[in-house]
């Protein structure tokens, strides 16, 4: 690391500390933080989180409702052509039962996720059945909802979801490099996926956008994605490291330092977008990876799954689930170690309102 690069990093960090907008080149400089620079970056990220959220974190209960999918994404365990994938469709009763258990455990939001299952996305009757389940989840738990059903292909579907009371729509590009998108999301259209998020925002929902690390991207691609997510008014932004799985030909583009790339990205997203929700996902490294992600500035814990529920994760379908280490009670000791604590439901609802106002103003 040259003295010139060190000076440039420090100068960029000072700009970030003043909450001044960072351009893509400056974002890339921070993303390339060396071993000796990372703690400076992470310390600033934690300071930004503290400024907007104090020492409070929030947890999302994860309900992977159906693992069937019509798509053939090259990174996904549940891609249509993968005969190794665990397949199921849960019943409404199973979903409601685990929703209530997650609510009783203390989560702040329920994330109803499925692949683009033809049974629920091809026609309006199937989609209405999905929204009916979501409505009953709200009624039985009183919790806010996030829905992740893949692409909502028209404005009417986005309005229906918003009218059901769903607060969040999650739909990830995985990258904003269009040629790389085409390699990752085989046979899918970049603009169609992007427009689904625009429709969701117009309908009044908050949007989560996300990227993958270790799939052939450059640091400049991640910098571009962070700038794009900031400009698109995403209320929640996430990064996850790609985890190779059975039946998936795609391999990691980097090995050494892979998780550090994810951690650096969390920290840079925090300093670039200090007021947004940024997840620490349990789906990549389980409980053992939680502290690092919180230390990098995350304030949302996602992929919380009830043990012995029969519901799977995504990147790691079974990791830490039945041991209880991916339940909210199972990770509280890690929060204590980080000097953090779970916020109240009232605090979460206030944070949602603040995000909604901010998204409307941007």
d(CA 271, CA 346): 25
Residues 293-346 have pLDDT tens digits of: 999 999 999 999 999 999 999 988 899 999 999 999 999 999 999 999 999 999
Residues 177-196 have pLDDT tens digits of: 999 999 999 999 999 999 99
Question: Could you give the residue ranges of the DSSP H alpha helices within the chain?
Answer: 3-17, 24-31, 38-53, 92-105, 118-121, 124-141, 155-163, 178-184, 190-203, 219-231, 258-272, 282-285, 290-295, 328-338, 345-361
Residues 137-151 have pLDDT tens digits of: 999 999 999 999 999
Section 76-86 average pLDDT = 95
| pLDDT value, residue 357 | 87
Section 233-242 average pLDDT = 96
pLDDT more than 90, % of the chain: 91
Section 126-140 average pLDDT = 97
Average pLDDT value over all residues in the chain: 95
Q: Which residues contact 2 (CB under 8 A, 6 or more apart)?
A: none
Q: Which residues contact 254 (CB under 8 A, 6 or more apart)?
A: 214, 261
| pLDDT value, residue 361 | 72
Contact 355, 311 (CB under 8 A): no
Q: How many domains does the chain have?
A: 1
Please report, for residues 227, 235, 348, the alpha-carbon distance to residue 205 in angstroms, rounded to integers and kept in the order given: 21, 10, 16
Section 26-33 average pLDDT = 97
Which CATH number do you get for residue 345? 3.20.20.70
Residue 15 belongs to domain spanning:
3-361
| pLDDT value, residue 3 | 59
Higher-scoring residue by pLDDT: 59, 359: 59
249 pLDDT more than 90: no
Residues 272-285 have pLDDT tens digits of: 999 999 999 999 99
Give the confidence band of 270 by pLDDT, cuts at 50, 70, 90.
very high
**pTM, 2 dp:** 0.96
d(CA 111, CA 313): 12
Give the confidence band of 5 by pLDDT, cuts at 50, 70, 90.
low
1 pLDDT more than 60: no
């Amino acid at each position: 690391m040259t003295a010139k690069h060190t000076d440039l990093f420090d100068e960029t960090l000072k700009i970030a500390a003043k909450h001044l907008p960072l351009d893509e080149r400056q974002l890339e400089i921070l993303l390339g933080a060396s071993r000796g620079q990372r703690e400076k970056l992470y310390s600033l990220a934690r300071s930004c989180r503290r400024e907007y959220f104090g020492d409070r974190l929030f947890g999302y209960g994860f309900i992977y409702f159906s693992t069937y999918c019509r798509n053939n994404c090259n990174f996904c365990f549940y891609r249509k052509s993968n005969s190794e994938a665990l397949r199921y469709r849960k019943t409404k009763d199973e979903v409601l039962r685990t929703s209530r258990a997650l609510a009783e455990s203390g989560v702040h939001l329920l994330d109803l996720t499925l692949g683009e299952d033809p049974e629920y996305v091809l026609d309006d009757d199937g989609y209405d059945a999905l929204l009916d389940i979501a409505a009953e989840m709200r009624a039985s738990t009183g919790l806010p909802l996030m829905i992740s059903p893949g692409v909502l292909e028209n404005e009417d579907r986005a309005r229906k979801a918003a009218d059901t009371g769903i607060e969040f729509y999650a739909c990830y590009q995985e990258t904003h490099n269009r040629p790389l998108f085409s390699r990752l999301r085989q046979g899918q259209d970049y603009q169609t996926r992007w427009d689904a998020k625009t429709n969701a925002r117009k309908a009044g929902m908050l949007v989560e956008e996300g990227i993958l690390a270790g799939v052939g991207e450059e640091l400049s691609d991640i910098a571009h994605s962070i700038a794009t997510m900031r400009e698109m008014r995403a209320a929640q932004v996430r990064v996850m490291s790609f985890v190779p799985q059975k039946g998936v030909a795609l391999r990691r583009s980097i090995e050494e330092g892979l998780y550090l790339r994810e951690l650096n990205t969390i920290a840079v997203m925090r300093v670039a977008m200090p007021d947004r929700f940024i997840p620490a996902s349990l789906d990549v490294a389980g409980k053992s990876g939680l502290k690092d992600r919180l230390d990098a500035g995350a304030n949302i814990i996602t992929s919380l799954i009830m043990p012995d529920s029969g519901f799977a994760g995504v990147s790691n379908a079974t990791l830490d689930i039945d041991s209880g280490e991916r339940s909210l009670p199972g990770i509280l000791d890690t929060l204590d170690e980080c000097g953090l604590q779970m916020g109240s439901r009232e605090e979460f609802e206030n944070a949602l309102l603040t995000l909604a106002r901010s998204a409307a103003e941007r």
